[in-house]
Amino acid sequence: MTEVLCETDFVARNEKFATFAERLPAMIVNEYAGDGDLAEQVNEREKQPLVELVAVIGENMRIRRAVRWEGECFASYLHLGGRIGVLLEAEGCGDTTLLTDACMHIAAFNPRYISADEVPAGALAKEREIARAQVQGKPENIMEKIVAGKISKWYSEVCLMQQPWLRDDKTCLAKVAPGLKVKRFRRWAVGEEI
């Protein structure tokens, strides 16, 4: 998956820019080795073609991110004409429609973690602190139950496997596909965190 930035919508719709951006993922899959962030390598290799494209179009552009994963079971999804991209790796994934739906779910709900057991201890401690502050003044035994409920609700907001499912909000991905093991996912929105 790659992210190529330009400065205006006019250039984003330019055929030459689109051709340049669309060829990068296939090139990365076929011509690069390794697993992980390849932005530096891709930028080095594509420096001259990008300089030539900038000269033709007359606007600054850059390859911001590029990632390549090695494995056996992947799915990807582009939303809003490529403004949001999702890459997912899983095990136990015979159903390609389910994997595509999982990518769509990630694009729509932007989970931060795969499951509750992957939440960093610091993030969990911070959420517990926030929850405890919200229920000050309650008896200690009741406070702990309320905090546990608030943490469970928080997991359903930030963990992919516990979030209300895209296709049926009365269930979650863990129940829809109990044999599916999501190994990792990446969700990018064009221009985020710039």
Q: Please report, for the chain, the start and end positions of each structural domain, with discontinuous segments joined by +.
A: 2-112+166-189, 120-157
* Cα 152 versus chain centre, distance: 22
Q: What is the CATH number of domain 2-112+166-189?
A: 3.30.479.20
pLDDT in tens, 53-93: 999 999 999 999 999 998 888 999 999 888 899 999 998 76
- CB atoms under 10 Å from CB of 175, counted, come to 12
Q: Has residue 192 got a pLDDT over 90? A: no
Picking from 1, 179, 185, the residue whose alpha carbon sits closest to that of residue 95 is: 179
Specify the pTM.
Answer: 0.87
| Cα 128 from Cα 131, distance rounded (Å) | 5
> 190: Cβ–Cβ under 8 A, 6 or more apart, which residues?
3, 5, 82, 83, 84
Rg (C-alpha) for the chain, rounded Å, is 21
Which residue's structure tokens are 């406070």? Answer: 143
